[in-house]
């Protein structure tokens, strides 16, 4: 019996209020590109350079305000990546599936959040609260 792909959406995601809930909704716990492209990775690179993708990417950034997982207090200070909420496959690109450009399948993420989503590693996520420092807590000989 073939694996049936679970379709997740931005519309569902934004119903979740916290960054942590949104991360859990998106978490894949897999290796990037493992089942999506493999040796055909060059095809997705051609897609990511297309004017259609650049337009969809720009719309997602505008909609999310450049915030990580579209959470208002999580501004992305550097490079903004766009994550496909339902991962796209080689077949999606070859067939021109709606999933590849659908804004309901795109979300802004920081590079670390993107890695954490794919690898399921919460240690990659930025802390939401500041680290409380104490005198000498960074001193290597104490």
CB burial class (10 A; 0-12, 13-18, 19+) of residue 92? buried
pLDDT value at residue 33: 46
- pLDDT for residue 133 is more than 60: no
Task: List the structure tokens of 107.
Answer: 């979300």
Helix axis angle for 111-119 and 19-26, nearest 10°, is: 50
Instruction: Quickly state the pLDDT bin for 122 (edges 50, 70, 90).
Output: confident
pLDDT digits (tens, 9 = 90+) for 71-103: 998 999 889 999 999 988 888 888 889 999 999
Q: Distance (Å, rounded) from C-alpha 54 to C-alpha 113? A: 21
Report the predicted TM-score, pTM, of the whole model to 2 decimal places.
0.78
For the chain, give every domain's residue range.
10-120
pLDDT digits (tens, 9 = 90+) for 14-73: 999 999 999 999 988 665 544 555 556 667 778 889 999 999 999 999 999 999 999 998
Task: List the structure tokens of 140.
Answer: 């290597």
**Do 37 and 90 contact (CB within 8 A), yes or no?**
yes
Contacts of 82 (CB under 8 A, 6+ apart): 56, 57, 60, 61, 106, 107, 108, 109
């Amino acid at each position: 019996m073939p694996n049936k792909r679970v379709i997740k959406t931005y519309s569902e995601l934004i119903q979740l209020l916290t960054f942590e809930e949104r991360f859990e909704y998106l978490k894949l716990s897999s290796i990037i590109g493992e089942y999506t492209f493999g040796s055909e990775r060059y095809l997705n690179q051609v897609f990511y350079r297309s004017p259609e993708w650049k337009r969809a990417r720009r719309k997602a950034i505008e909609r999310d305000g450049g915030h990580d997982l579209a959470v208002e207090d999580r501004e992305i200070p550097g490079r903004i990546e766009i994550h496909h909420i339902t991962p796209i496959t080689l077949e999606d690109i070859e067939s021109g599936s709606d999933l590849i450009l659908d804004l309901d399948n795109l979300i802004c993420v920081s590079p670390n959040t993107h890695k954490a989503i794919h690898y399921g590693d919460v240690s990659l996520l930025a802390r939401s609260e500041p680290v409380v420092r104490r005198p000498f807590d960074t001193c290597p000989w104490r």
